[in-house]
């Protein structure tokens, strides 16, 4: 798989819309680590604009961010916080069950890196590719994702914080050689950290290795219907 070839196909389909970012772990940071404040999804904006971001367990301020990045176990207060204060689950036990079933592999001692794919030389060693997309762009991405499969869960929307949808779900699916992609950024707590018209689509590398070859076969390759949507993307920039 060639990154430049994929970028060319992405540009043909979406124009100059922002490229997806890649996520991967390493023993050393790719750039100097800076501490985050609160939810680290807002700190992904430089990566979305073409740069690289490296984070460690000490750099991530949010306890949930540490958990869903695989750096720590669940702190005792977290299930109650998610249930009783944020009211995202009915009981703390449901939160515990969700995290247990997710079974995020430990990445203790590692660094997590985020980078626009135009900063990479290859797709080797990545956990997944994350798209940040407006409704029109997401329409194209979902159409492409579903083009070669009839599986009802091919695009999934599980309960997830922002970092869980982007990182944890992607990493777990890739580890399991799964074929689901994940819509994300529905967590009310993460919405203020991204633009009002932006959602995410997280594609684990286990799935992207298949999708890489189907973009040119999909409706994104100049069909009448897609060209109408593409025209609006190019005009409105969204």
131-160 pLDDT tens trace = 999 999 999 999 999 999 999 999 999 999
User: Do 99 and 89 meet the contact criterion of CB atoms below 8 Å apart?
Assistant: no
Whether the per-residue pLDDT at 37 is higher than 90: the answer is: no
Q: Which residues contact 128 (CB under 8 A, 6 or more apart)?
A: 22, 23, 170, 171, 173, 174, 202, 203, 204, 205, 208
Instruction: Please state whether beta strands 155-156 and 181-184 pair in parallel, antiparallel, or not at all (unpaired).
Output: parallel
CA–CA distance, 182 with 199 (Å, rounded to integer): 10
What is the per-residue pLDDT for 238?
64
What is the per-residue pLDDT for 204?
98
Average pLDDT over residues 94-121: 94
Q: Where are the domains of the chain?
A: 3-236
CA atoms within 13 A on the CB side of 110: 15
CA–CA distance, 161 with 131 (Å, rounded to integer): 16
Whether the per-residue pLDDT at 166 is higher than 90: the answer is: yes
Q: For 222-233, what is each residue's pLDDT tens digit?
A: 899 999 999 999
User: Do 52 and 114 meet the contact criterion of CB atoms below 8 Å apart?
Assistant: yes
Burial degree of 52 (CB within 10 A; 0-12, 13-18, 19+): middle
CA–CA distance, 22 with 29 (Å, rounded to integer): 15
Of the candidates 143, 167, 180, 214, the residue with the CA atom closest to the CA atom of residue 64: 167
Average pLDDT over residues 178-207: 96
Of the candidates 28, 44, 7, 2, the residue with the CA atom closest to the CA atom of residue 195: 44
What is the per-residue pLDDT for 237?
66
Whether the per-residue pLDDT at 32 is higher than 70: the answer is: yes
- Determine what percent of the chain is predicted with pLDDT higher than 70: 99
Cα-based torsion angle of the residue sequence 167, 173, 174, 180 in order, rounded to the nearest 10 degrees: -100
């Amino acid at each position: 798989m060639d990154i430049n070839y994929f970028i060319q196909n992405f540009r043909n389909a979406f124009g100059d819309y922002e490229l997806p970012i890649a996520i991967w772990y390493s023993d050393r940071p790719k750039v100097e680590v800076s501490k985050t404040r609160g939810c680290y999804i807002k700190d992904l904006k430089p990566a979305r604009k073409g740069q690289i971001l490296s984070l460690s367990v000490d750099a991530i301020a949010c306890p949930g961010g540490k958990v869903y990045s695989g750096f720590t176990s669940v702190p005792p207060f977290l299930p109650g916080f998610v249930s009783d204060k944020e009211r995202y689950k009915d009981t703390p036990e449901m939160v515990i069950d969700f995290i247990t079933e997710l079974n995020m592999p430990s990445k203790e001692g590692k660094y997590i890196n985020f980078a626009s794919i135009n900063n990479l030389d290859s797709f080797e060693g990545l956990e997944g590719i994350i798209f940040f997309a407006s409704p029109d762009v997401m329409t194209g991405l979902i159409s492409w994702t579903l083009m070669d499969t009839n599986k009802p869960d091919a695009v999934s929307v599980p309960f997830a914080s922002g970092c869980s949808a982007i990182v944890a779900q992607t990493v777990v699916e890739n580890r399991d050689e799964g074929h689901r992609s994940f819509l994300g950024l529905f967590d009310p707590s993460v919405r203020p950290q991204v633009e009002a018209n932006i959602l995410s689509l997280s594609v684990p590398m286990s799935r992207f290795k298949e999708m890489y070859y189907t973009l040119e076969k999909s409706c994104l390759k100049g069909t009448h219907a897609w060209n109408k949507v593409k025209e609006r993307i190019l005009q409105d920039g969204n």
